[in-house]
Structure 1
Amino acid sequence: MVNLTHGLSIGIERSGCEFFLTLKAIGTLTHKDYEVITPMIDSALGEVKHPIVNVLIDGTELDGWELRAAWDDLKLGLKHNKEFKKIAIYGNKDWQSTIAKLGSWFVSGEIQYFENATAALEWLKSNDEEADA
């Protein structure tokens, strides 16, 4: 018997019109996962006129997407593309770097791939601290 681990956690922090979204995916993402997270993201961002969103995606345990879930991911990105300021993808698989590059075609914000979580967080915070100085 094979024990397949699957899960998705999401965190949404808000300060004014700025959001910090964290996602951790384990296993293969499904359409049902997007049926849960999409309304959460839509609801949080819908309360603000011009939201600014930074995202940290932990893909270290992500195996990929079902085809319909990949479509859901693309639709979510297109729907909120102008709201994303920075997306940091923290992972450990070669294909994740390629996904980050492809994602930049559909999102107006910056997307970077990292193999180190600390570097990903530092990059997400870099412009905020420079703007405060």
Structure 2
Amino acid sequence: MIEIIEGFPGNVVAVSATGEVTRDDYEKVLIPAVEAALARREKIRIYYELGSRFGRMEAGAAWDDLKLGVRHYLRWERVAVITDHDWIRHAVDVFRFMVAGEVKTFRMDESREAREWVASPIEDTKIPLS
């Protein structure tokens, strides 16, 4: 199951996953939330929490996740994945290249830091011309 987490800025789609995440969860909850946010902004951020009650993701949901990521490749500004599941952290590292923006994983006890990071301004790293 995927549920929207309230209390984030408008440029952040925040969700929590518990139990089994299904294709239906993606099609009825996550994809509409992402599409609505992208209709209002050029780029968005994702806060994705997969806690101890998260069990697994069915194949259809994984496929929808991949399609969503590719379809909006240049529109992801930041993605925070919060989990204590090592296999998810490793999967994020493997597929990090599929996100043009910044991607960072956090442990569950770092959720406050993850919330601050995903909502914080991105520092301008341009070198000033002399």
Normalising by structure 1, we get a TM-score of 0.77
Distance in 2 between residues matched to 1:96 and 1:129, nearest whole Å? 25
Residue of structure 2 equivalent to 1:43: 36
* Count of matched residue pairs: 118
Residues 1:53 and 2:52 aligned together: no
Does structure 1 retain, via aligned residues, the 8 Å contact 2:12–2:118?
no
Distance in 2 between residues matched to 1:68 and 1:8, nearest whole Å? 14
Does structure 2 retain, via aligned residues, the 8 Å contact 1:55–1:88?
yes
Structure 2: runs of 5 or more not aligned = 125-130
Distance in 1 between residues matched to 2:16 and 2:3, nearest whole Å? 5
Residue of structure 2 equivalent to 1:27: 19
Higher strand share: 1
Aligned match for 2:94, one of 98, 102, 105: 102
Could you say what secondary structure the match of 2:97 adopts? coil
Aligned match for 2:83, one of 91, 94, 97: 91
Normalising by structure 2, we get a TM-score of 0.79
Distance in 1 between residues matched to 2:49 and 2:60, nearest whole Å? 21
Distance in 2 between residues matched to 1:91 and 1:109, nearest whole Å? 20
Shift in CA distance, 41/129, structure 1 to aligned 2, threshold 3 Å:
closer
Shift in CA distance, 95/123, structure 1 to aligned 2, threshold 3 Å:
same
Aligned match for 2:69, one of 66, 77, 89: 77
Deviations 1:13-39 (A, max 9, x none): 42xxxx111010101111111110213
The structure 1 segments of at least 4 consecutive aligned residues displaced by more than 6 Å after TM superposition are none
Structure 1: runs of 5 or more not aligned = 1-6
Could you say what secondary structure the match of 1:57 adopts? strand
Shift in CA distance, 40/130, structure 1 to aligned 2, threshold 3 Å:
closer
What is the deviation of 1:63?
A: 1.9
Q: Which has the higher contact order (CA 8 A, sep 6+)?
A: 2
Superposition RMSD in Å: 2.0
